[in-house]
Homo-oligomer: A and B are copies of this chain.
Amino acid sequence: MADKKRVYTFGDGRAEGKADMKNLLGGKGANLAEMCLIGVPVPAGFTITTEVCTEYNQLGKDEVVKLIKADVEKAIADTEKVMNAKFGSKGEAFPLLVSVRSGARASMPGMMNTILNLGMNDETVKLVAEKSGNEKFAYDSYRRFIHMYGDVVMRVEAAEGEHDPFEMVLDKIKKEKNYDSDADMNVADLKFVVEEYKKVVKNKAGRDFPTDPWDQLWGGITAVFDSWNTPRAILYRQKENIPGEWGTAVNVQAMVYGNMGENSATGVCFSRDAATGENQFNGEYLINAQGEDVVAGIRTPQEITIIGSKRWAERNGTPEDVRKAKFPSLEEAMPTLYQQLFDIQRKLENHYKDMQDMEFTIQDGKLWMLQTRNGKRTGAAMVKMAVDMIEEGLITEKDGVLRMEPNKLDELLHPVFDKKAIEKATVLSKGLPASPGAATGICVFHAERAAELAEKGQKVILVRRETSPEDLKGMYAAEGILTERGGMTSHAAVVARGMGKCCVSSAAGISVSHDSLKIGNKEYKEGDFISLNGTTGEVYDGKVATIQPTLDGDFGKLMLLAEKYTRMYVRTNADTPADAKVAHEFGAKGIGLCRTEHMFFEGDRIWAIREMILAEDVAGRKKALTKLLPIQRGDFYGILKAMDGFGVTIRLLDPPLHEFTPNDDATQKEMAEKLGVSVELVKEKVESLHEVNPMLGHRGCRLGNTYPEISEMQARAIMEAACDLKKEGFNPKPEIMVPLIGTIKEYKMQEQIIRETAEQVIKEKGVKVDYMVGTMIEIPRAALTADEIAQAAEFFSFGTNDLTQMTFGYSRDDVGKFLPIYLEKGLLKHDPFQMLDQTGVGQLVEMACKKGRETRPSIKLGICGEHGGEPSSVEFCHRTGLDYVSCSPFRVPIARLAAAQANLR
C-alpha cells in the first residue's frame, strides 16, 4: 500500500492529475487538474484520492491519517509556494486559507457541504485583516468558517424545536441593532459574533473550537470521508445507482475571495442554457460576495451577460434604468474580466466538448476559476445541445448519441407541471414514481364513475387502494392514477406505464376508502382536485397547471441517429390498436408483447369469459369461447394492421382464471343472474379458483394445456384476423407466444394446438400467412432447459418480470414489505424489478440464449419484461445478443437510444 500515490497537487499551470483520472480524483479533482494543464487560472491545491476513502472505510481514521500525513504536508507546502502564503502563518507571510470539498466520480449533491476559509484562528484573522487591509472581510470570513466547520465537522445541531444556534446568534444581534442583513454588521459586531460562535461550539460539541490549522485540516478531511456514509449520501447513491465502493476524493484548495471589496466578485456560469439547450453563455454573479451568497438567495444575484440581464429584467418587470444601476451584468460592470471569463468558458467547452457548469471568483481584479464540470440539463436541453454540437462539428454523431441520458427523454414524452404553478403548490404526500408525467384532476374512486365523468369532459384522477384488471376502463379515462398500495411493478404501475399515464403508488400516509381519500387530517371526496407528479412521486393539493410536451425537430434528429447506430431493434408492449399506433409513432418496430387477457375486461367481454369459467365441461366452455372469438379477432385485426409489416407477438391467455371472477357479493349476484345460475354455484366456483400463491398457480400454458379449447380459440382469432388482412393487401406477421413454459412437453402440446388451428384457418380462408410459434422464457426451468425448448420454439421472449420473481423468490405484490428496507440497508443495490439483476437473473437469460442458439441458430430472441425500457438492462440485452427489446410505448424512444448507446460502447 505504501507505493501507491495518494495525493495529487495542482496549481500554477501544472498538475499531477488530469481529466481522465476521474475515478481516482473524483470529477472535481480531475477537472481542477485539467484546468491547470490547459492554462486556466485555478487556485493551487491538492486532491486526496477516492482510494483513500475506501481505505478509510476499511482501516479507520487513525491508520489512514498515518498513511497520508507526509503527502498532505508536502502538498500544503507546494500550495504555500504557489500561492505565496503560509498555512498557519505567524506573521511571516499572508496566511494560506483553504477550502475542503468532497468530490466523487459522479456529482453527489446529497453529500457534504463545503468548508471554506479553513486555517482561520484568532491570530491568522488579524494577519488577514492586516495584510488585506479589510478587517471586516477578515472577521466575516472567520465567523463564516466557524459556522461551517461547526456544522459540518463538529456536528453542531439545533436542539429539537429550536433554530440553528449560529443563526440565533446572528438574529439576536441583528434584532438588537436593527440590522436588515448580515452585511450591515460592523467589525465589532463580527468580533462579538466570532466569540459567541466559539461558545456555541463549545456548548454544543462539548469541546473547544480547534485553533491549530492542522487540526482543522485533518478534521475537515476526515469529515469528508465520513460524509460518504451518511444516510443522506447512501440514499442519494441508491437513487442514482452509484456504488458505495466508489468513495469520494477530498479537494483542498487555496481560498480566493470574492468578498475583498468592490473589485471582487464571485459567480457561477454555464457555457450554454441548461434549461433550453440554447447556445448562449449565461450565469449569475455578485460583487463583493462569497460563492455561497450567490446560491443562498439573500442577495439578488446579477446576470453575467447583457442579454441575460435584459431577459431577467423583462421577466421581473424591472425598468431598464434600475437594471443598469442596481443589477448590471458582469459584461457591463467588468467588461475586461467578462471577456476573460467568456474566453475561458469557450476554451473549457471546446476542451471538454460539452456544456460546462463553472464557478469563478474575482479577487481584487483577478479572475480565478474554481470549478468546471459538465453541466446538468433538462431533457430538452440535452437533446438540443447534442444536436447543435454535432452540427457545429464540436462532437461526432456517435459522441452525441453516447452523451444522452436515455431516461431523461421521459421529460420530453410526458406532460410536466408548469414551473411557476408548482412552486406555489402544497405537497400532500410522496409515493413511488410509478409512471412518469404530471396530472391534475378531481378525485374519483371507481373505475366506472371515472369513465363516466371523463366522458363528460371532466379531468379525473382515479384514486384506488390498488387496481385490478377491472379498473382498466377507468384507468384509460383518467389523467392519472393514485394508489395506496403496490410497488413499481404493481398492476397500476405496469398498466399506467403502458398507457403513458401518470401514476403514483404506495403514497405515504394516505388511506383510500370506497368514497374518500385521507391524507393526514385532510379528506378528499369525489370532485376535490389533486395533482400528481409521476416522475417524482409527489402528490399535490388542488389544481396545478400542466404543460404538454412537444417533440420538436431535434428529438427527431436524435432518433434518426439512434436508428443509424443501433444493432438491436425496439418493439413495444401494447394490447390495443391505439397503443400500437402510439408506439409505432415513437419508432417501435413491432410488438414484443400483446397481452390478450387485457382485452377481456373491456365492456361486456368479461361476461363471456365468466360464462366459460362457469361451464362444467368442454362443450360449455367452447360455447362461451365462441362468443369471444369475433371480439378477439377484431382486436387482433386492429393491432396487426397498426403494425403492418412488423412482427406482432401475441401471448396466449396468461393470468389465473380467478382474476376474471368477482369477489364481492353484489357482482357475484349479478354474475349468477346474468348467467342463469345460483349464487351458491358462483360462490363455489370463485372459492374453488382461490389459490394460496396465484403467482405460482394455475395460469399461463397450464390453462391452455388443461383447457386446450382456450388456446384453440385464441389461435383461431389471431389467424383469422391475419388472413383477413392478407386478403386486403396488408402484410400481417403474427408470432404466437405460449406463456409460462417450464418443460418442452408443455410447449409442444400448445404448439400442436396452435399449428393445427392455424393450418385449418389458412385452408378455410384460402390465403397463406406466415406465422411463428414461440414461447416466453419466464420460469427458471425454461431457461435451464432452453436447449430442449428451442428444438420446437421458433422464438424466445424473456419475461423478466416473472423470471425475476421466481429467480429471487420475490412476489412483486408483496415485496413492499421488505424491499425498501433491503435498499436502505444496502442488501440490494437496485430494485431488481426496475433494473435487471445481471448477476442472477441475467445469468439465466444468458444461459437460455446460449442454449437456445446452440439448438436453433436462427432462433429469434427478445425481452418483453419491464426491463426492456431500462437503459442498463437494454445494454445487457445488447451484450447478450438479443435481437430486440420490447417496452411500453412511452419508453420506446428511451430504449432506442439505450440500444444505440449499447452498440456504440
A interface residue numbers (CB < 8 A to B): 691-698, 702, 705-706, 740, 742-743, 745-746, 749, 778-781, 784-785, 788, 802, 805-811, 813-815, 817-818, 821-822, 825-828, 837, 839-841, 843-844
Expressed in whole angstroms, the Cα–Cα distance for A828 and B745 within the complex equals 8
Is the pair A809, B814 in contact by a Cβ cutoff of 8 Å?
A: no
Q: Given the complex, which residues of B lie within 8 Å of A844, measured CB to CB?
A: 780, 784
Contact: A809 with B802, CB < 8 Å? yes
The answer to whether A696 and B805 touch (CB under 8 A), given A705-B821, A781-B840, is yes
Chain B residues with Cβ below 8 Å from A698 are: 814, 817-818
B817 touches A697 (CB 8 A): yes
B694, A809: Cβ atoms under 8 Å? no
- Give 20 CB contacts A-B under 8 Å: A692-B695, A693-B695, A694-B814, A696-B809, A696-B810, A697-B817, A698-B818, A702-B818, A705-B821, A705-B827, A706-B821, A742-B809, A742-B810, A742-B840, A745-B826, A779-B807, A779-B809, A781-B837, A784-B843, A806-B809
Taking CB atoms, residues of chain B closer than 8 Å to A697 are: 811, 814-815, 817
B802 touches A781 (CB 8 A): no
Closest-CB distance, A460 to chain B (whole angstroms): 27
Contact between B827 and A807, CB atoms less than 8 A apart: no
14 further contact pairs, Cβ within 8 A, besides A692-B813, A693-B693, A705-B821? A693-B696, A693-B814, A694-B814, A695-B811, A696-B696, A697-B811, A697-B814, A742-B809, A745-B828, A746-B827, A780-B780, A780-B840, A781-B808, A785-B840
Query: A808-B742, A840-B742 in contact; A694/B692 too (CB < 8 A)?
Result: yes
Q: Could you say which residues of chain B place their CB within 8 Å of the CB of A743?
A: 827-828, 840
Closest chain B CB from A379 CB (angstroms): 33
Nearest CB in chain B: distance from A358 CB, A: 40
A692/B808 in contact, CB under 8 A: no
Give Cα distance in the complex from A749 to B828, angstroms: 12
Q: Which residues of B are found within 8 Å of A806, using beta-carbon distances?
A: 696, 780, 806-807, 809
CB neighbours (8 Å) of A843 from chain B are 784-785
What's the least CB distance linking A117 to chain B, in Å?
A: 41
The residue on B at minimum CB distance from A805 is B696
Residue in B691, B702, B825 whose beta carbon sits within 8 Å of that of A749 in the complex:
B825
When distances are taken between beta carbons in the complex, the residues of chain B under 8 Å from A822 are 702, 705, 746
Residues of B within 8 A of A785 (CB): 839-840, 843
Please, how many angstroms separate the alpha-carbon atoms of A818 and B818 in the complex?
31
Cα–Cα distance between A815 and B749 once the two chains are bound (Å):
19
Chain B residues within 8 Å of A781, by CB: 807-809, 837, 840-841
CB distance from A518 to the nearest CB of B (A): 15
Cβ contacts under 8 Å, A705 to chain B: 818, 821-822, 825, 827
Bound CA–CA A780/B745 (angstroms): 22
Contact B692 A814 (CB under 8 A): yes
Q: Hey, which chain B residues are within 8 Å of A807, CB to CB?
A: 779-781, 784, 806
- When distances are taken between beta carbons in the complex, the residues of chain B under 8 Å from A692 are 694-695, 811, 813-814
For the complex, what is the distance from the CA of A781 to the CA of B845, rounded to whole Å?
12
Q: How far is the CB of A234 from chain B (nearest CB, A)?
A: 14
Q: Which residue of B lies closest to A818 (CB)?
A: B702
Q: Contacts A742-B808, A780-B780 given: A813-B693 contact, CB under 8 Å?
A: yes
The reply to whether A691 and B780 contact each other, CB–CB distance below 8 Å, is: no
Across-interface contacts of A779 in B (CB, < 8 A): 807-809
Cβ of A840: which chain B residues have Cβ within 8 Å of it? 742-743, 780-781, 784-785
Identity of the chain B residue whose Cβ is nearest the Cβ of A690 in the assembled complex: B814
A749 cross-chain contacts in B, Cβ below 8 A: 825, 827
A821: chain B residues within 8 A (beta carbon): 705-706
Residues on the B chain within 8 Å of A694, using CB:
692-693, 811, 814
Q: In the complex, which residues of chain B have a beta carbon less than 8 angstroms from the beta carbon of A784?
A: 807, 839-840, 843-844
Bound together, the chains give a CA A74 to CA B743 distance in angstroms of 45
Q: Which residues of B contact A693 (CB under 8 A)?
A: 693-696, 811, 813-814
Q: Which residues of B have CB within 8 Å of A740?
A: 809
Known contacts A693-B695, A826-B745: A818-B780 contact under CB 8 Å? no
Smallest CB gap from A466: residue in B? B692
Look across to chain B and name the residue whose beta carbon is closest to the beta carbon of A828. B743
A706 to B815, CA, bound (A): 13
Q: In whole Å, how far is A879's beta carbon from the nearest beta carbon of chain B?
A: 18
